Structure 1
Amino acid sequence: MSVSPRVLVVGGGPAGSTVAALLARAGVGVTLLERERFPRYHIGESLLASCLSTLRVSGAYDRVAAHGFQIKRGGVFLWQKDTWLLNWAALVDAEAWSWQVDRATFDDLLLRNASDQGAEVIEEATVKKVLFDDADRPVAVEWTMAGEDTVRTTEFDFLVDASGRAGVLAQKHFRMRRQHEGFRNIAIWSYWTGARLHPDSPEGAINVVSTPEGGWFWHIPLADGRFSVGYVISTRKAAEQVRVHGSQAAYYHDTIRNTPELVKLLEGATQVADIRADQDYSYVSDRLCGPGYVIVGDAALFLDPLLSTGVHLATYGALTAAASIATALRGEMSEPDALSFFDYTYRRAYERFLVLVSRMYQEYVGSDEYFSHASALTEAHADDTAQESFTRIMAGLTDVDESSGAQQRTGSDTIATKADGLHDYASGANISYMGHLDMSPVWNVWRDPLGADTAMGDLRVTTEPVLGLTRRPRTDAEKDAIARPVNPPVGAPPVTH
């Protein structure tokens, strides 16, 4: 094992594996410590289209494509009295698609890719303590191997905390993770065979079905014929109903029986796995970076799964983090300036989705009103309709567009002030679930766009000649490629409109 890697990554999920692979490909020495032995189970199977371009840059694309996951080309939302048919090919780009994945396999493929790209990957390694110098910069970690008592110490120049919900820095050391009181929800799920998709679904689409009591179901097709079917509802309401029904399983099945649209999708289907549950999972860290460290993926933040943002935010944050770290380590930009870019782009991506999810949970007045608000969250692709703007955001492509320079607005002091206001608001005790949620303070953040003439207004991520940050204007080839996923794997069914 290398004695002093330049970068130490804690955690081998999509965020950690992607950071490690990208930095290793950029010539940076990387060691990754993962607490578990992969493959291991994880929920969060539905990917956004944006993930594919990051997989390509990290070197993982061919490995993932060869596995044969279910192709996904959009979603159908049966949301209250509306039906949203979100066909990515028709609304965004003929080549916009992604996968529905088995996360145990998908995450394992990404971790093996990190090793293939040159990162040193050590599994079953648990970080016990982070050591800091006199300037509060992390310089080493103490860790143990499974089944051993020996405490090992690894030094580094830079730390990436991708430790998931355990939160080595944000949760355990700094204690700066804030729960979103408005999203204290529980997810209850299982797996089924013999189910079907809504008849108007694009290929492999996620189906989302809301319920009168203020919750919603996800319904996701997987390549092996199984469907992941989960119910999300406020923790308080769930606790009341579980007491009435006697168990989470009984409540889950009764809610399915009382949701006619889901009954149609599960007609003749058989449940093939035990019930699982997770709760109170929406949060954000006060800081996403600092001297000598960044926090990415679930270690930094997580949002209610309504728009399937988990892997997107993990890999997008990993991409912007790796570009910023590599640039700073090469001495091409000061570390504070490079990390300011990471902080801004990552926080902006998170807050954009926070706004959209919040709007869906508030008292709903129809898709036209909702889509029109979504269009205010981006100024790129000015010719898009409101529905196209929403679809581009929920496919993750707006974030890729902004960080690549197609639409970039920065100003770390200003955005930090606005972000604090948004987080304070989202943590307010008087937010109610699915109704009477006044989001006007949040929308005012986005209706007051930052100017482009700031010190970092023209900064963007580039992969040529090496991963990093640049102010060089984009080439025509970059403009064509950066915000568009690569072509589907050989043998994938044709696009259907």
Structure 2
Amino acid sequence: MTQHTRVLVLGGGPAGSVAATALAQQGIAVQLIESAQFPRYHIGESLTPSCRTILEQIGVAKKLDAHGFVIKHGGAFRWDDDSWVFDWGAQIGSRSWQVDRAEFDLLLANHARDNGVAVTMGVTAKKVVFAGDRPTSVQCDDQDGNSFTVDDFDFLIDATGRNGLLSAQHFKDRHPHVNLRNVAIWGYWRGAKVLPDTPTGGINIISTPEGWFWIIPLSGGRTSVGFVTGKDTFAELRRGHDTLDDIFLSLVKNSPAVRDLVADAEYLGTARVETDYSYVGGRFGGPGYMIVGDAACFLDPLLSSGVHLALYSAFNAAASIASVSRGEVSETEALTYFEFAYRRAYTRLLALVSVMYERYLGKDGFFHTSDRLVDTSGTGERAKSLSFVEIIAGVSDMREAQDASTRVLTERLVDEAFQVQERVSVVDGRPDFSSVLENPLRDAESSEYRLVTTPRLGLKRVFADAER
């Protein structure tokens, strides 16, 4: 670690690797440290088209295509009494992948190395030391238990995932989503089917009275099958079964639709479970640092938003830091843009995910909410489900980051999220508005900058476009 490190990235998952690669491609020296030795298992296999857009920008999409991951063209919902299909190729002209995260994350980390990032595995960041409001050093342990300090950096990116070195451990300002107190349990099958009319390589979302299933086809004939339900319901299930496999297999058996899809398949075991995964940090950045991916926030598996938010935040962080390093914007301006862009994407998904758990609304209610969560002015007559498709594809976030003329009205977006929270978030018998009330979008009219990728990655002032 003798190389001068302008940017230190903590965490080598998708957010950390993408941020590091994008910065290195702008000629910035980057050091990335990761606690694990890759490859390592991680859940989160279904990617959105926005991920492809970003991965194309950093030159790794062709490697993913060649690797053999399942190409994902959309999916099919069977939600309560409604069924509908989304076809990304036909509706938005794009596609993505279903990935094995162990292979995907390793591929991204290796791509970072190939682009000049100094990647070190087996090093755990334990504590960030601040001088005033700015981080100045990071205390680390290597895999042999040796302690040392890294202090040769100008800017820090926290991509430590759910561990949340800054949000959860240093600032202690992470707040759980009380209306998303869910548990996910999942396992793998070989030879499972998907619902009829599912686009090639597509995901299935199938609801039950107690929750919902995901069905994700993977390479090698394997399928990821998972179930999401409330914590109280899962606690009851645990009391009635001896093992996680018993719980999982009983859930599959009790769903006629899912039972049919795995009827001729082989269960590969062993069931896994995650809980307490829906949260948001009180800040996404500050002087000398930005928090990206799961280190900042995570919603729910329902719309496969995890990797989208990770890559979206990482790419915007890299653009912001690159513009600061070139003197194009001040650090304060870049931090304002980053917080605004990331928080806007998170807020929109919070509203849509939350409203989908309001089961009585039906698909028309979901589509109506989606229309209100994007700026459709000047787009002409739109297909009924197009706004919904654009949101779950990450297209709306990418468009608004890059095109100043299509910025959603933030007041409308936040009000919609507030109304959803009012209906579904209850603590001690009262509505809980904390995640919306603390959202800085409520006090911001818009960002003064937009993301640009040509002639180089960075930020550009919106009013500069208007003056041309």
TM-score normalised according to structure 2 size? 0.91
* 1:202 corresponding residue in structure 2: 199
2:360 is equivalent to residue 364 of structure 1: yes
2:214 aligned partner: 218
Larger relative contact order, structure 1 or 2 (CA cutoff 8 Å, min sep 6): 1
Q: Is the 8 A contact 2:212 2:227 kept in 1?
A: yes
Q: Does 1:158 pair with 2:148? A: no
The equivalent residue for 1:14 is: 14
1:471 paired with 2:467, answer: no
Matched residue, 1:282:
278
Determine helix, strand or coil for the equivalent of 2:219: coil
- 2:402 match: 404
Question: Does 1:254 pair with 2:250?
Answer: yes
- Alpha-carbon distance change, 298 to 442 in structure 1, aligned in 2, over 3 angstroms: closer
Q: Cα distance 1:46–1:338, how it changes in 2: closer, same or farther (>3 A)?
A: same
Counterpart-to-counterpart distance in 2, 1:417 and 1:209: 29
Amino acid at match of 2:67: H
Q: 1:468 to 1:185 in 2, by over 3 A?
A: same
- Take 1:250 and 1:66, find their aligned partners in 2: how far apart are those partners? 38
Is residue 176 of structure 1 aligned with residue 173 of structure 2? yes
- Quickly say closer, same or farther: Cα 1:5–1:420, change in 2 above 3 A: farther
What are the within-5 Å matches in structure 2 for residues 4-403 of structure 1? Answer: 4-90=4-90, 92-93=91-92, 95-133=93-131, 135-213=132-210, 215-380=211-376, 381-403=379-401
Q: Tell me if the contact between 1:408 and 1:460 (Cα under 8 Å) persists in the aligned partners.
A: no
Compared CA separation, residues 276 and 29, structure 1 to 2 (3 A): same
Question: How has the CA–CA distance of structure 1 residues 369 and 431 changed in structure 2, closer, same or farther, with 3 Å as cutoff?
Answer: farther
Deviation at 1:153, TM superposition (A): 2.7
AA partner of residue 180 (structure 2): F
CA distance in 1 between partners of 2:416 and 2:193 (Å):
41
Q: Give the aligned residue type for 2:454.
A: E
Alpha carbons of 1:304 and 1:372: their partners in 2 closer, same or farther (altered >3 Å)? Answer: same
Offset at residue 351 of structure 1 (A)? 1.1
What pairs with 1:412-451 in structure 2 (closer than 5 Å)? 428-429=426-427
Assess, with a 3 A threshold, how the Cα gap between structure 1 residues 331 and 424 changes in structure 2: closer, same or farther: farther
Q: Kindly provide the amino acid, as one letter, of the partner of residue 15 in structure 1.
A: A
| Amino acid in the other structure paired with 1:471 | R
The percentage of counterpart residues that share the same residue type is 45
Residue 422 of structure 1: how far off its partner (Å): 8.3
User: In structure 1, the residue corresponding to 2:55 is in which secondary structure?
Assistant: helix
Q: What secondary structure, in the 3-state scheme, does the structure 2 residue paired with 1:268 have? A: coil
Q: 2:429, 2:122 → 1: CA distance? A: 41
Name stretches of at least 5 consecutive residues in structure 2 with no aligned partner.
none
User: What is the distance in 1 between the residues matched to 2:417 and 2:170?
Assistant: 21
Deviations 1:406-440 (A, max 9, x none): 5554999x8999799689868641589xxxx999x
Distance 1:419 1:346, change over 3 A: farther
> Can you list the C-alpha shifts for 1:430-478, whole angstroms capped at 9, x where unaligned?
589xxxx999x979x9xx9976xx6x44x21112222100137999xxx
Task: Please state how far the C-alpha of 1:68 moved relative to its aligned partner.
Answer: 1.2
The answer (yes or no) to whether the contact 1:3–1:154 under 8 Å persists in 2 is: no
Distance change >3 Å, CA 38–CA 268, structure 1 → 2: same
- Paired residues in the alignment total 459
Question: Aligned partners of 1:309 and 1:13: how far apart in 2?
Answer: 15
How large is the RMSD of aligned CA atoms in angstroms? 2.9
Gaps of 5+ in 1: 476-497
Closer, same or farther in 2 for the Cα pair 1:369/1:163, shift >3 Å?
same
Residue by residue over 1:196-239, the C-alpha shift from the partner in whole angstroms, topping out at 9 and shown as x without a partner, is: 111110011100110112x0000000011000000100111101
Change (3 A) 1:450 1:415: farther
